[in-house]
Amino acid sequence: MSGAKPSVVIVDDHELFRAGVRSELEGLAEVRAEAGTVEEGVVTTLREEPDVVLLDVHMPGGGAVEVIRQVARERPAQRFLALSVSDAAEDVIAVIRAGARGYVTKSISAEQLAEAIARVSEGDAVFSPRLAGFALDAFQGEIPESEIDPELDQLTMRERQVLRLIARGYLYKEIALELGISPKTVEAHVSSVLRKLQLSNRHELSRWAAERRLLD
């Protein structure tokens, strides 16, 4: 991780929660601004151009998905980290597929959140144990050979191993140690899984995403 503290904008409709995150990140990241609505979030993000936008999944007016969609039009390189109390697969997958580079639950500790922010700011992906479980679930099961795009629709053995260790609660450095690879390689595997989650047309993924869009 680089020495400079990453800059952050917090977008969440709960003021108490924003204040909590802000004080938790004191000294760990530079919180530039907060926003309480989707529109405010878009405007603030485009104005501040932070390294990472911390994004609540559920907000009135389309939630995180809508913020990502609108910001991406102006600033496609913007990096988002989704924060949520929801553990529903369709919510998580929809935000990831919209373009977020990671998903963590709101119960995460301050140090882990700071680490996740740092990782996303460097362009890597952040998976919570639950998101790793979802990914394994989504890519489990056979699909007809003819429909497989091996680049996108299947996980490699190594990727599965990495996901399993994340789901078991291992930290990246522990995963690297366990598998005998470098932490950078672990990050590369996770980023590759993220890309597959975002782009694969596997039935489960498209269904989850579609269901979420219907609800918006």
**Residue (43 or 136) nearer to another protein, CB:** 136
Residue 170 DSSP class: -
**Contacting positions for another protein (CB under 8 A):** 87-88, 107, 109, 129-130, 132-133, 136-137, 140, 164, 167-170, 174
Q: Which residue bears the tokens 């913007």?
A: 78
Distance CA 75, CA 83 (A): 21
Asked if 110 and 25 count as a contact pair (C-beta separation under 8 A), the reply is yes
**Residue (88 or 188) nearer to another protein, CB:** 88
CB of 169 to another protein, least distance (A): 4
Distance CA 30, CA 215 (A): 34
| 10 token code pair | 């917090």
**Residue (173 or 184) nearer to another protein, CB:** 173
CB of 90 to another protein, least distance (A): 11
CB of 195 to another protein, least distance (A): 20
Q: Is 46 exposed, middle or buried (0-12, 13-18, 19+ CB in 10 A)?
A: middle
**Residue (2 or 107) nearer to another protein, CB:** 107
Distance CA 80, CA 67 (A): 10
CB of 21 to another protein, least distance (A): 18
